C-alpha cells in the first residue's frame, strides 16, 4: 500500500481519496483546539499561504485522544480554526491516531516514520507521555497533538516531526520538496 491508496473523510463525512493529492507536497497534522501547541495553527497557516500555489497541501486531522483537547464536533473545530487562526487549508473529520479505532491513514504514516525521540523542548512531554505509555520510546504511536508528517510529491513519507517542532522549523524541508 501507498498513501494514495487510502481514503479519508472530510469534516462533513464525505470520502476524500488521498489520490486527489497526487503530485502535491503534503503536511499532515493531528491537531487540537485546546492544547498548548494550538498556536502552531498560525505557523501552519503561514506555510500554507507561502507554498500552497507551489504545491503544498495541509491536511488537518483533529484528534481528541490527548488530554481531551479537541472536544468539539467537526464544525465547531472548523469554526474555531477559521475564526481564531484564519485557516484556509483542508480540515478533515476528527480521528483517532492510535489504538484499536485508529484511522488507517495514520497507521500507515506511523509505519513509515516511527518515533525517533523528542528534541530538548520535547522533554516536557515525557512525564505525560510516559504515564499513557511506559514503553513510549519503542512505540511508533503518536505521542501528542500536533505531530506532523511531511510527504513528498511521489507520496513518500519523508519525515515525522513531534509536537514541539514548530512549523517554521520545517519550512526549509518544505522548500526542498516544492
**Angle, CA of 13, 93 and 59, to the nearest 5°:** 120
For each of the domains in the chain, give its residue range(s) and CATH number, in order of start: 3-177 (3.40.30.10)
Virtual torsion, Cα 155, 108, 16, 69, nearest 10 deg:
-120
Q: Which listed residue (25, 27, 28, 35) is catalytic? A: 35
In the chain (178 residues long), the average pLDDT of successive 10-residue segments reads: 96 97 98 94 97 98 93 92 93 96 98 87 80 86 96 98 95 96
* Residue 81 annotated in active site: no
Amino acid at each position: 500500500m501507498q498513501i494514495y491508496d487510502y481514503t479519508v473523510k472530510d469534516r462533513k463525512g464525505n470520502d476524500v481519496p488521498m489520490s486527489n493529492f497526487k503530485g502535491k507536497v503534503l503536511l499532515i497534522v493531528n491537531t487540537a483546539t485546546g492544547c498548548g501547541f494550538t498556536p502552531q495553527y498560525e505557523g501552519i497557516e503561514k506555510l500554507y499561504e507561502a507554498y500552497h500555489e507551489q504545491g503544498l497541501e495541509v491536511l488537518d486531522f483533529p484528534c481528541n485522544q490527548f488530554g481531551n483537547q479537541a472536544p468539539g464536533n467537526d464544525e465547531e473545530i472548523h469554526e474555531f480554526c477559521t475564526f481564531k487562526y484564519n485557516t484556509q487549508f483542508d480540515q478533515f473529520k476528527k480521528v483517532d491516531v492510535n489504538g484499536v479505532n485508529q484511522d488507517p491513514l495514520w497507521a500507515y504514516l506511523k509505519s513509515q516514520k516511527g518515533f525517533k525521540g523528542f528534541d530538548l523542548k520535547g522533554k516536557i512531554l515525557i512525564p505525560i507521555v510516559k504515564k499513557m505509555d511506559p514503553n513510549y520510546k519503542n512505540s511508533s504511536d503518536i505521542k501528542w497533538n500536533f505531530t506532523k508528517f511531511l510527504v513528498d510529491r511521489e507520496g513518500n513519507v519523508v519525515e515525522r516531526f513531534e509536537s514541539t517542532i514548530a512549523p517554521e522549523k520545517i519550512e526549509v524541508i518544505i522548500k526542498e520538496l516544492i
